[in-house]
Structure 1
Amino acid sequence: MNFDALSVLTISIAALLFAMKIKTKLLFLEKFCIPAPVVGGFLISIIVWLLSFIDIKINFDTSLQTPFMVVFFTVVGLSGSFKLLKVGGKILIIYLLCCWFMALMQNAIGISMMSFFNMHKVYGILSGAVALEGGHANAIAFSNMVEQLSPLHNAKLIAIAAATFGLISGSLLGGPLCRYLINKHKLEIKTNESIKDTDPLKHEIHIASYQDFLKSLFLILFILCFGFYASKLFTQISGYSLPSYVGAMLIAIIIRNINDIFNIFKLNQYTIDTISELSLGIFLTMAMMNLKLNELSVVALPLFISLFVQVIVLLLFAVFVVFRLCGKNYDSAIMCAGLMGHGLGATPNAVANMSTACNKYAMYSKQAFLIVPLCGAVLIDIFAIPLNTYLINVLI
């Protein structure tokens, strides 16, 4: 059975809507912040896998997946304002540098572990910073790149499995780690009151008009096209493969920061966020639908051992490095809970970890809720995505 691009888009949206519905019924999905696209796409992949046992083979035309993916990373780039660094001050810079080092560390561990098991080193990148620090979106984007450049056809499955493992681990460990740090060091439950409540760069969020949406869509598509040709030109000149989504993200960062200086146009945050959520939801669902679950058994044990090592090292990194460098206080303990969330999973996990900890101690940490989402969702990618791109090119 073959489904064309339009049919696949329809199925993806249906699966996404269904997943949103069942997330409200199954509390563990909400507790661990499992994204609805992951749930919906995974259910479709299970159905496809089960049908294969009765000789029904299903093929999906996922040609629309790439455009949605590039749109999402373009929006990520538009959020990469360097003026935000001033808002968080010195601690934001320290935390961001820790995040960048974490990307190097996770890749080094991943490569070492895969070398130990005599497996391709690229699997170490995909199950390292790509999947853990990057989450499902980066896992799918970079595994697509690997599968296009090499014969490693189970790259996507490995990356997504690692991202899912990290998502759950990060949700489970953030709260207990924060509690351990507070009890171990007998921390005073108080927070930095000098942190501002709002982000001065964000425009007022409001329901967008047709014209607002059209302007935002034009800007994103313009950057997307520009990034596509920039990536192609870079690849031709340098010989290194630069995916179109990386080029689009970097161009978006440049345009955003030029606009911050000269105020050429006004960004409508509501429409930008809406387009981002829509594109991410559809592209993740499409990617999950195409998983070949039977291929995971080949690398299951080495992958699990590698991920277990990643979790232990990140815990030690949070306790002995990040906690101390960020002030060795209540705010830094909350930030470590967030680090486990986005360092192994995604920013929503980080926010959920921090919210749980703050509710337990009845003290909201403005510093943590400003710094962690900024670094985990946007600023970290400025370093991690080019790093992962370079390493994949070198290792393939």
Structure 2
Amino acid sequence: MAIQFGTYYTLILAAVVLLVGKFMVQRIRWLREFNIPEPVAGGLVAALVSWGLNATTGVQPSFDTGLQTAFMLVFFSSIGLSANFAKLREGGIGLVVFLVVVVVFIVVQNSVGVALASALGLDPLIGLIAGSITLVGGHGTAGAWGQVLEDQHGIRGAVTLGIACATFGLVIGGLIGGPLAKWLIQRNDLHGPQGSGGEGDALEAGAQNFEFPHKTRRITADAVIETMALFAGCLAFAEFMTHAMAGTAVQLPTFVWALGGGVLIRNALDYVFKFEVFDRAIDVFGNAGLSIYLAIALLSLKLWELAGLAGPLVIILAAQAIVMAAYAGFVTFRVMGRNYDAAVLCAGHCGFGMGATPTAVANMQAITNQYGASHKAFLIVPMVGAFFIDLVNAVAIQVFIKMFG
């Protein structure tokens, strides 16, 4: 028996999930020590409750996915609206180096997936589904490429399989990033900048968007209205471009167009119209969108579907989690400088390497709330994880499909 929760009830339950997660992290010591993000903690409890209901009564709760998509687009729009060219220049060589590290990892991730699938007697393309299609790509890429693999390559159930793998990655990415970064920080005796982190209420000068979501950001009603108009512009641009470019060589997921629209609008306002954008309001909207998106995503997690995955696929996904943690700890950390910023970048890399950019940001927030600011990480990860990586991943997937399809 299916129970459908409408828009309002979904939003109410998402807020409850976030409050439960916050309560758990405040009261349960090991959640704080391992830097588990609040939406992940609360979301897993909600998923377990849904699983219990399904196991005992056969009820299958479902939630408004349109609301989840809307808040995801708000989050990505906020990244674009925060990315003026001056900030991109601040990323400098570090942004390029991190992008190269991530590109190499995509090749590693797909190679592991294809090799294990072949060794376990599965179609190599299933290894791609349990590779960068779903883990780096997330739910949107899983749905798009899953349909291609069903229609053109005969992989039955590829879309369902992809959504399940993407959901697994979203959870695991949120669970391994914080503990790995904590281990790197303690093992190498690293320290964040003095006077930052969870202490105090006011937001420090120079903080990047998404840093310290619990700190005070003073905004006005006029700023809120202006910011809502900016977000509406990003979403309108994303909707138009998604339909206009459908079926062309530059077809991209809607969230990429939302981010790109934000970049265009922000820099046009900065450099053409000389209009001062209110970053603090964008930050509030972005953090709220991030939290609610993750809450609804995990609230919608159907553990009974994951439990039904074939044994070989579970082996592949478990191996991918181990490879992700090892690569971040031994490659990403070393290449990015073996310092505190590098440790925070590792938390972010685990987030979008296994799940999605919102998970990456949540991982980094959990670390910086405890150990201190990392402006470099919050400058680099959202742009690489939300924009550049989707373009690179699309090319990598096409290459692997041509090789093994």
Q: What TM bracket, shorter-length normalisation?
A: 0.7 to 0.9
After TM superposition, the score normalised by the length of structure 1 is: 0.77
Amino acid at match of 1:226: F
CA distance in 1, matches of 2:347, 2:314: 23
CA deviation map 1:35-67 (0-9, x unaligned): 333233332222222112232232333222212
Match of 2:318 in 1: 304
Amino acid at match of 1:41: G
CA distance in 2, matches of 1:308, 1:103: 16
CA distance in 2, matches of 1:140, 1:24: 30
Match of 2:31 in 1: 29
CA distance in 2, matches of 1:109, 1:163: 19
Q: Structure 1 319/379 Cα, relative in aligned 2: closer, same or farther at 3 Å?
A: closer
Structure 1 unaligned regions, length at least 5:
131-138, 184-188, 192-196, 324-331, 359-367
CA distance in 1, matches of 2:207, 2:52: 51
CA deviation map 1:262-318 (0-9, x unaligned): 353222122211211222222222221222213334222211112212322333324
Q: Structure 1 65/173 Cα, relative in aligned 2: closer, same or farther at 3 Å?
A: closer
Match of 2:71 among 43, 68, 73: 68
CA distance in 1, matches of 2:387, 2:10: 32
Q: 2:223 aligned with 1:215, yes or no?
A: no
Please report how far the alpha carbon of residue 175 of structure 1 lies from its aligned counterpart in structure 2 after TM superposition.
4.5
Match of 2:172 in 1: 165
Amino acid at match of 1:277: N
Match of 1:225 among 236, 247, 261: 236
Contact 1:227 1:247 in 2 (8 A): yes
Count residues with an aligned counterpart: 354
After TM superposition, the score normalised by the length of structure 2 is: 0.75
Q: Residue 248 of structure 2: SS of its match in structure 1?
A: helix
Contact 1:177 1:336 in 2 (8 A): no
Q: Structure 1 9/389 Cα, relative in aligned 2: closer, same or farther at 3 Å?
A: farther
CA distance in 2, matches of 1:296, 1:129: 18
Q: Structure 1 31/147 Cα, relative in aligned 2: closer, same or farther at 3 Å?
A: farther
CA distance in 2, matches of 1:296, 1:159: 10
Q: Residue 235 of structure 1: SS of its match in structure 2?
A: coil
Match of 2:391 among 369, 386, 394: 386
CA distance in 2, matches of 1:256, 1:389: 26
Match of 1:373 among 378, 384, 393: 378
Correspondence 1:311-322 to 2 at 5 A: 311-318=325-332, 321-322=335-336
Match of 1:43 in 2: 45
Please report how far the alpha carbon of residue 73 of structure 1 lies from its aligned counterpart in structure 2 after TM superposition.
0.8
Q: Structure 1 313/18 Cα, relative in aligned 2: closer, same or farther at 3 Å?
A: closer
Please report the RMSD computed on the Cα atoms of aligned residues, expressed in angstroms: 3.3
Contact 1:15 1:40 in 2 (8 A): yes
Contact 1:163 1:344 in 2 (8 A): no
Please report how far the alpha carbon of residue 250 of structure 1 lies from its aligned counterpart in structure 2 after TM superposition.
0.9
